[in-house]
Structure 1
Amino acid sequence: MGLGRGVALRAAVIAAVLGFAAAGFISSDALLEHGHGRSLLQAKKDCPVSFEGANYTIITSRCKGPLYQPTLCCGALKDFACPYSTYINDVSTTCAATMFSYINLYGKYPPGLFANTCHEGDKGLTCPEDTPQVQPGQTASGAAVAFAAPAAAAVAAAVVAVSLLIMSC
């Protein structure tokens, strides 16, 4: 009985640690324009995180026209989107399309600006490895700033807990 609880506890702690792990990149597919072509054949799940209350000034204050500077625009996009990379890279959801519809609503950007401008490698835009991921139900305003300290503390606590569990075996 005690052994089963120990295994379950270890599994829960490891799952919590992995939940805070960042995807590491924003995929090129997530940056593409999202049309409404064959939507009946490609039904997507609703996005589990909300972009409605997000702080879009992270992007709109730095990425300004008419000469949209790639360094500023792509850096701002990464600062805003990396905390959501797990969700916007999931092509089975509406997350990327929803996020870009809000970005374009608030920033009034030309179509394809980010897809045509922001390139870093084969996978897409690289996110810092220590970027905490927004979790479903969390408020999205200023995600990159609002969750950095609590997520870092939670990850540190989880790492300590895993270390203690491993040492006790």
Structure 2
Amino acid sequence: MKSPARTRTACPKARARTSDLLQFLSAFIVEIPPLRDRRADIALLAQRFLESRNFQRGIAKEFTPAALRAMESYSWPGNVRELGNVVERAIIMSHGARRIEPDHLNLPPGDDNARRNAGVTLRFDNLPTVDELREKYLAELTRRFNGNRRLIADAAGVSERNLYRMLGKRDDGPQ
């Protein structure tokens, strides 16, 4: 067992070695841009992750063109690690299906940056009520996401449970 005094005296030497190592390694800086700036690499990396998971699980799956487009349109804030996790989750979510569809990826629709920066213009002949605005908004989201309630809830920023309540009120009221 080392004494505290001996450990303290060894620390400056270790710090010096670490500093020397960092100085040596700084000569070999490799800058890799984020995945969102390398859209062409997304399909290649996703395919590589899929192939390695296929080998591990003893199954053969493939991405549909729509799934590849969905991955290429996503901004990947978690970078390559997030892409690997999404591929793993898609394999699990696709169960026995041989092809991985966009729904299996569980990605938000479209590019996150585009969604954040997208503007909304409202024009009214007569001022609508809040209920009328909600009705039009839900109708637009339902149309845009083909009735997929998980995607509608994500886009509206509400839980699926709250979305069901909102849609229930909408279905009960006048159309």
**Band the TM-score falls in, shorter-chain normalisation:** under 0.3
Report the structure number with the largest CA radius of gyration. Answer: 2
Instruction: Give the TM-score taking structure 2 as reference length.
Output: 0.24
Instruction: Give the TM-score taking structure 1 as reference length.
Output: 0.24
Higher helix share: 2
Q: Relative contact order, CA 8 A, sep 6+: which one is greater?
A: 1
